[in-house]
Structures are given as C-alpha cells and as structure tokens.
Structure 1
Amino acid sequence: MRLFKVSHHARNSFPMIHQDYEKITSEQRAVVSSMYTDYYVFPLAVLGHTLKQHQVNARRILIYLPNRISKRTLCFVRAAGWELHPVEFIPPPHGGKGIHYTFVDQYTKLNIWKLDQIGIKTAVYLDADTIVRRNFDEIWNLPFEFGAVPDIWVDDPGFTAGFNAGILFFHPSTEIFKDMVSKLETTNFRLKDAEQSYLNHYFGAQSVRLPYAYGGNLAIKERSPEVWKAMQADMRIVHYTIVKPFDSNMRCPNDICDQAEVYDLKRQEAWLNTAKTKLRGHFVPELTWWEESFNLMIKEVGNLCPAS
C-alpha cells in the first residue's frame, strides 16, 4: 500500500488506556489471523507453526469465510495449530469504488474486534505474510487500547508516522466493531489503501506505535541495512512485505480454488527460489527463515490432511 495522510483526530470516542488490562488471563489472549482463500493455506500454516514453536502463550484463532475455504484447507490449518472461527464478509465502502481488487476482502478483518464474544479480551493480529522468530508474551502487559508498528517505505518518505495494518495489538470489543462499521461510509480516507488507511484514521493519534521488533518489515532492510542488523537480536515478528515467499497474487475463479495448484509443493519451491533472486538477492537470509519454517511445518502436518 502507498503513503496516505494520517488523521490526527481519532474517529472514535473510546479511551486510549484499556481499563481492565491488568485483569486479563492467558485464556483471554489470542493471536489472530485471517483467511479468505485456499491459496493462503501454506503461509498461514507456517505462521501457526512458528507461534507453536516459540510457545506464544495465547489462543491461536483464524477467522475465515466458510463459503470459500475447502475442508482440506481447514483440516490443514487446524493441524498447524489454528482454532477456526467463521465470520461474515464485510463489503468495502462505496460499493468497492476506488479499491484495488486485491483489497476487496480486507474489510472482513474488522470482524476480529468481535472476538470478545468468544471470551477474548486482548489480541495480536498477524497477516499471513508474517512469521514469528521469538516469543512476544511481554506484549500482553501493554495498557493501551490499540497499537501497531510504524510503516516503512523503500522510497520516500521512508520511515513514516502512519502504521502498517499487518500487525496489530488491540482489545476486542463488539461496541468498537459496530462503531467502526457504522463510520466506514462517512470517513474520508484513501480508499485504495483499504482497511489500513481506515484504521489509521479511526484510531488517529490514539494509536500507540510498537517497536519495529514487533513488525520486522523487509522494507527496513532495503531502506537501512544498519537498522535491520541492529534489530536482529530483538526481532519478534518478520513481515514479508516487498518480497513474498509464496504467491500472494493467485485468485480463485468464482471463489473455488484448484486444489492441485494450492497444494503443489514443487510450485511453492519454484516460487521461493525465484523470490530469492529478486532485489539483487538481498533477502535470501530472510526467505530462508520462512523456508526452514515451511519445511518443518510440512514434515509435521503435511500428511495429516490428504486430498479427498
């Protein structure tokens, strides 16, 4: 997504500090992600596997659109450690006008604020193009209502005031969800940047900025290799923004995916090998991190959900 103007004044009237943060138990925490197509089965399984590997002390909840996801994919991500939670599609505002086709589903992400209905009081949202490199349980002690990692661009302006919506810290609240949805049509935000722009406007200056260690955006390495190197010891989460270790552009005709293509290990291997050659091979180490996690995940769960 491109740069957008950040609102200084939040579009909500909720307090910045969450009043009950000290009373939240481990059973009331969750790491959350989302799935809108079968083609994300491998990256989400890898993410779930890394959460398990690094023993993040929280439930792992995957929201998904039930009419789009196959039984085999649901089996696969469940085997990788996800607790499945079906949600309803939230259409983009203004009938989708001005929104890139790859972001049409993204407003469905707002459903994560309704997880208070299943007992979740604090959560971290992670996009499918992330992996966990280190336990981040200390984040649960934050007193704030909402936090996110500042966004970074390879080109100007570089390090920005706005945040990236791929990694979020928040407290689920159906009240906040209803308020968000009610203001989608009336908030003046850059539509082409979808829910990321909307959330920047909705939370405005109330949003707490998390350290880059909680969102190791690959753009940091391209923009400032020195900063990236200094982050290594503290890196909790890696965000594969400018180079993907999987094909994120695949689309299923009529929402029905070709299962042979979805689960084609040779295709995945070829994609990853090509990704390693991009941008002068600058991201081979980081892509190798994902590859190693992928291989471990396949070894552990790859045969648990055979094709029907």
Structure 2
Amino acid sequence: MVRFQWNLYEWRIDRLLDMGWWTKVGILSLGLNALFVVQHLLHRPQRSTLFSHWSSLHNIPLVDPNAVHDLHPLDGHKNMVATAFFTDEFATAVAALGASLTRANTTARRVMLYIPEQVSPRGLCIASATGFRPHPVTRIAPPPGGEDVYAHFIDQYTKLRLWEVGEEVGARGVVYLDADTLVLRNFDELFALPYPLAAGGDVYTNRRGFTLAFNAGVLFLRPSAAVFRDMLRKIPEAEFWRHEAEQGFLNAFFAKDVVRLPYAYNANLAIKVRAPRMWEGISKEIRVIHYTMVKPFTRDNKDYALVPMDELEANARRRASEEGGVFVEEMEAWAQAWHETYATYGEKLEGCMALSNKPGQHAT
C-alpha cells in the first residue's frame, strides 16, 4: 500500500515535469493567488466605524442630576420644541410642522432659530405663522471654509446654538425637529429623559444600512451655554466625517454617551426602503416622520425653490410617484397636513405674501 502511494506520487511528479512551460506558470500563478486571498482574509483591516477613532471630547455626566430631581419634568414652561429656519425655501415646511405640533397637543413652547441676513420678512412671517417664536442667531460657518460640507448642510453648524439659546430662554429640555419633519403623535414623554442627548439611529438605503451613528434631524438635549462653547472649541480637533457638518460633529462629540431613541421618534423615510416590514411595525407608533428622501414641499431633490402655497398639496401628491411610489401614504399625510394648515392659518399666511421677499430686510 505504501509502495503504491509512493509510485502514485512519483507518477504525479513525472507528469508535472512533462507539462509545458505555460502550464507550470499557470499552476504557480494559481497557487500564489490562492495564498494571497487566504492572507487577505486572515489579515484584512477592520471596517472603520463611529468608534474607530473615538476620543473623549467632553465631561458631561451621562445622567443629568437636575432632571432626576425635577418633580415636574413635563412642565411646558420648562420645555422647548425648536426648529431651524435658514433659507426661505423651507418656510411652508416650518409652517406645516408648527401646525402639526398644535394638532399633537404638545405642552412645550416653540422657538425657531433663524439667520436674519438669510431669510426674508415674507419667509419669516410664513414660518412663524403657526406657533414658532422667531429667535435670531448668528450663523456658525463650517470649518475650514466649508469646502468639505455638502451644499445643503452649509448652514447646519448653526444648529449647535440650540445649547446656547435653550439656556438663554430658560428651557430645561429641548426637542429639536428639522424643518422636513412632521409630527404625527405627541412626544412630550421625551422631556422626562435624564440624559444630555438622545437621538435615533441613522439609516441609509445603500450598503451602510442601519448604522451606529445617529441622525441629527430629531434630537432631545439638555441646553447649556458652557457645553455650546466647549463644542465650538472642540470642532477643529475632533475627527469626524465633515461632509455631514454638525451631524458628523455631534456624533464625535457625544459618541458613546448619546442615548438611542426608538425609530418611531425619527421615522426616516429610508427605513421604509431599507426594511419595509420594520416600517410597517412602527407605523402605528410614529411620533415624528422625517422626509429625508423625498420632500413634499419642494419641486425635486435639487430644486428647493419655494412652491406656491396653493400648489403644495398637488406637489406632494405628484412627488408620491418617485422612488417607485413607495412613499404614497407619507406624501398624502403631508398633503393632508398642509390642507389642514391652510384651512386654519390661510388668512395669516396670505397676509405674509404682502411682505418683502428679499432676505435681511427685517428688524431683529
């Protein structure tokens, strides 16, 4: 038996020696490639994640001691719902958001951060017609010069002033909502959270899918002017994806200390594309819907020009055909919300149209 195996081995060696030169090269190349693949699989670097370059950027305690000892966490006077209004194109979106807050019967007061030199009297009037109190703020420019920031995020570092403004107006807790959101249900329970920051996980329709990072379109935060100043100091030294402006920075600044909210508090449309059954599961509990992929109040995803108020319902329904029609229900929800908004505030909104549409002409 041993002799037979040895003869067989000798036979294979002889056959190999008899092979042509190109055949031998091919076999050698195949072997080397196989070795390279094995080594790559064994030693390939780990994919970079939110925590790959983590470093501590703050000393904020995880649990807010004032919140723990507050006997009335849902006192509306101490709580604030905020949004940001940086360009006129989002005026009607903010108006619809304000009306949706009224329907949801939130107890919190409402504040709208705006950049005076970038919005017009007309836009400011429309955006504040449904309950948001305008609060002028100074723009925070993206570092360094904004060349790494996506164009539609160019003003978003100004959102960091939420920590400053919240303390200025005496708010104990702040829920921030992007202008492209709509409130479907009351979320006042968030004001009882004893944490410095809470946000929902971010979602993408590409290979990134559900990520460790959070989305900054809906935030709960404890305002602090000291924290605001600390953030401004830390922006230059923090490692983060600068394309996403303040969202990238906030993920680096709070990192492991942010408390993740259920997706129902930031129902990003990307969830419905990425995981339709999950969207179905949260649909009856959604507090805030986030129109990330298709914005019902704009012509398309590139043209953010202000759509005339009498065309907004039709515009939302027209855009429902995009993305294969997957967002028909969500576009209809916004169309109905605008219908109710205009029915309630139409006279006031129309009165705004008599004002100048040139940015920077109003008194602050």
Could you tell me how far apart the structure 2 residues matched to 1:43 and 1:10 are?
37
| Higher-Rg member (1/2) | 2
The answer as to whether partners of 2:99 and 2:341 remain within 8 angstroms in 1 is: yes
The answer as to whether partners of 2:313 and 2:336 remain within 8 angstroms in 1 is: no
Q: 1:221 aligns with which of 267, 272, 285?
A: 272
Aligned counterpart, 1:257: none
The answer as to whether partners of 1:4 and 1:197 remain within 8 angstroms in 2 is: no
1:71 matched to 2:121? The reply is: yes
1:17 matched to 2:63? The reply is: yes
Deviation at 1:271, TM superposition (A): 3.4
Q: For the structure 1 residues 35 and 306, does the alpha-carbon distance in structure 2 shift closer, same or farther, using more than 3 Å as the test? A: closer
The answer as to whether partners of 1:76 and 1:301 remain within 8 angstroms in 2 is: no
Aligned counterpart, 1:156: 207
Q: 2:329 aligns with which of 285, 290, 293?
A: 285
Unaligned runs of 5+ in 2: 1-46, 355-364
The answer as to whether partners of 1:9 and 1:205 remain within 8 angstroms in 2 is: no
Aligned counterpart, 1:245: 296
The answer as to whether partners of 2:312 and 2:338 remain within 8 angstroms in 1 is: no
Q: What does 1:1-308 correspond to in 2, within 5 Å?
A: 5-7=49-51, 8-21=54-67, 22-23=69-70, 24=73, 25-114=75-164, 115-247=166-298, 249-250=302-303, 262=306, 264-265=308-309, 267-269=311-313, 271-304=315-348, 305-308=351-354
More deviation, 268-277/44-53: 268-277
CA-based RMSD: 1.8
Equivalent position SS for 1:200: helix
The answer as to whether partners of 2:97 and 2:181 remain within 8 angstroms in 1 is: yes
Equivalent position SS for 1:93: coil
Equivalent position SS for 1:277: coil
The answer as to whether partners of 2:172 and 2:222 remain within 8 angstroms in 1 is: yes
Deviation at 1:267, TM superposition (A): 4.8
Could you tell me how far apart the structure 2 residues matched to 1:264 and 1:188 are?
42
Equivalent position SS for 1:302: helix
Q: For the structure 1 residues 196 and 164, does the alpha-carbon distance in structure 2 shift closer, same or farther, using more than 3 Å as the test? A: same
Equivalent position SS for 2:182: strand
Equivalent position SS for 1:233: coil
In the alignment of these two chains, the number of paired residues is 297
Unaligned runs of 5+ in 1: 252-260
Deviation at 1:38, TM superposition (A): 0.9
Equivalent position SS for 2:219: strand
Equivalent position SS for 1:241: coil
Deviation at 1:297, TM superposition (A): 0.7
The answer as to whether partners of 2:317 and 2:335 remain within 8 angstroms in 1 is: no
Taking structure 1 as the reference length, the TM-score comes to: 0.91
The answer as to whether partners of 1:150 and 1:162 remain within 8 angstroms in 2 is: yes
What's the CA shift string for 1:252-273, capped at 9, x where partnerless? xxxxxxxxx6361355345323
The answer as to whether partners of 1:11 and 1:203 remain within 8 angstroms in 2 is: yes
Identical counterparts, % of pairs = 36
Could you tell me how far apart the structure 2 residues matched to 1:191 and 1:239 are?
22
Deviation at 1:4, TM superposition (A): 8.1
Residue 265 of structure 1 aligns with an amino acid whose one-letter code is: M
More deviation, 270-279/159-168: 270-279
Could you tell me how far apart the structure 1 residues matched to 2:227 and 2:214 are?
19
